[in-house]
Amino acid sequence: MVALIKAAQLLLSLSILVVLHELGHYLAARKFKARVEKFYLFMNPGFSLFKKQIGETEWGIGWLPLGGYVKISGMVDESMDTEQLKQPAQPWEFRSKPAWQRLIIMLGGIIVNLITGFAIYAMVLFVWGRDYMPAERVPYGIEIDDRVEALGFRDGDQVVRINGETPDSFEAIRRTLFFDRVEEVVVRRDGQEIPLAFDQDLGQFFVDSAIRMPFGLRVPCVVDTVLPESGAARAGLQAGDRIVAIDSMPLTYFGEVSAYLRAHPNASVAVDVIDASGVPHLRTATTDSTGALGFLNRDPSEMPEFATEHKAFGAGEALVSGFSLAASTLQEYVLSLRFLFSSAGATQVGSLVTFGSIFAPTWDWELFWRNTAFFSLILAFMNLLPIPALDGGHVAFLLYEMVMGRPASDKFLERAQMAGLIFLLTLMAYALGNDIWRLITGQFQ
């Protein structure tokens, strides 16, 4: 059921963005009186689920949920329909329009996606505002992946400054340490400020080391849900129990409790807890073959010490902040692409399965629209890449024509389009292969 809910959110999100993207091309083409023969959501090789002729345009829905397209007369596109190019150019055809008009037509979808991403972020801030945890209110410091210790970080560190600047929230700490070029981090440890200097790209280190969550909140180990027939259930652990020690060792945070238990699979452990009423108990429990007791920890949002702040936005402020959020999100995405140029980074390339995994397991409209805004920006950027078969490839050829004063030959455009399609299909197959491997190895939740 969770997979279906995530798939439905992904399908709706991408459908909205594809329609808007193609509408950008359509409106620009009609503005310059270029004929649009087809407007399709999804691809329709062989047949269509729905189609209707309205004026000069056939509107339809294909059966293959891979994007969509508009077919503009007199243009070499992904349909590879070149028969009309053998005839003399007609006034309503794309190829008969001035280069600057054709450039605007090709940029239409990208422009609409950029505007859509900005508009959605502004809407999200206006409707839901922003909940965040101020950096100075991370009560127990950060919890790190064990491999991050090699960089000098320790569990419980409080991040004070990054590159000389004070982060305003815990989210900003995680984003900055991953995406930005970080040279120095000052942490507060045992009451002292300790500088950590770096001569390597932290983000690349995380990618190369396959560290998916380098930094998290350090949270107390408080039982939220006990799984039936688990070691925790048989030992009598209950919701609200706070674990303070195991086998007489003082362990109070969820990360260190989990690490200790993983190191003791199929073992009997003595668990000291304090129940919801403040009464201490000693429970004897048995871990399973993975070293788990079978309970879920309470979410930090339900703990009073992790109280977040809420910021509401008026209409004008939401517009300004929405633009800023869209710009910073796009910048972070572009910066993250540098990680792909390594063997470890290439394995992180994902398909629709990866995109679907970031949606909530239940229908969450705020997260849905945030993800849709993010995808809209990605769609804009990826389509701008100068790859034949993408909008950016057409833009590159048009810029060549405007600079050189003559267009590339139709035969060259056909071959370039085919090469671009083969490249994109190969990339999609590789990304799908990565996702299948992650599914097999249990890397998706």
**What percent of the chain is modeled with pLDDT above 90?**
53
Instruction: Work out the mean pLDDT of the chain and round it to a whole number.
Output: 88
Output the pLDDT for position 321.
95
Output the pLDDT for position 228.
92
Assess whether pLDDT exceeds 70 at residue 370. yes
In degrees and rounded to multiples of 5, residue 138 shows phi and psi of -85, 95
Architecture, CATH, for domain 223-297: Roll (2.30)
Torsion of CA 249, 253, 254, 256, to 10 degrees: -50
Assess whether pLDDT exceeds 90 at residue 354. no
Q: For 68-99, give one letter per residue: b (16+ CB within 10 A) or e.
A: bbbbbbbbbbbeeeeeebeeeeeebbbbbbeb
Domain extent listing, the chain: 2-126+368-440, 135-216, 223-297
Pick the CATH number of 135-216 from 2.60.120, 2.30.42, 2.40.50, 1.10.287: 2.30.42
Topology agreement, domain 135-216 and domain 223-297 = yes
Output the pLDDT for position 47.
87
Spell out the long-range contacts of 191-199 with Cβ–Cβ below 8 A and sequence spacing 24 or more. 193/160, 196/151, 196/152, 196/153, 198/151
The CB-side HSE value for 263 (13 A sphere, CA atoms) comes to 8
Contacts of 324 (CB under 8 A, 6+ apart): none
Output the pLDDT for position 378.
93
Convert the pLDDT of each residue in 195-233 to its tens digit. Answer: 999 988 888 888 888 787 899 999 999 999 999 999 999
Amino acid type, 297:
N
Output the pLDDT for position 168.
87
Least confident of 80-84, 138-142, 160-164, 300-304: 80-84
Q: Is the pTM of this model over 0.85?
A: no
In degrees and rounded to multiples of 5, residue 273 shows phi and psi of -130, 160
Contacts of 414 (CB under 8 A, 6+ apart): 76, 80, 82
Residue 157: name the closest of 124, 122, 185 by CA: 185
Convert the pLDDT of each residue in 159-207 to its tens digit. Answer: 999 999 999 888 889 889 988 889 999 999 988 999 999 988 888 888 8
Assess whether pLDDT exceeds 90 at residue 18. yes
Write down the residue that tokens 């572009």 correspond to: 334
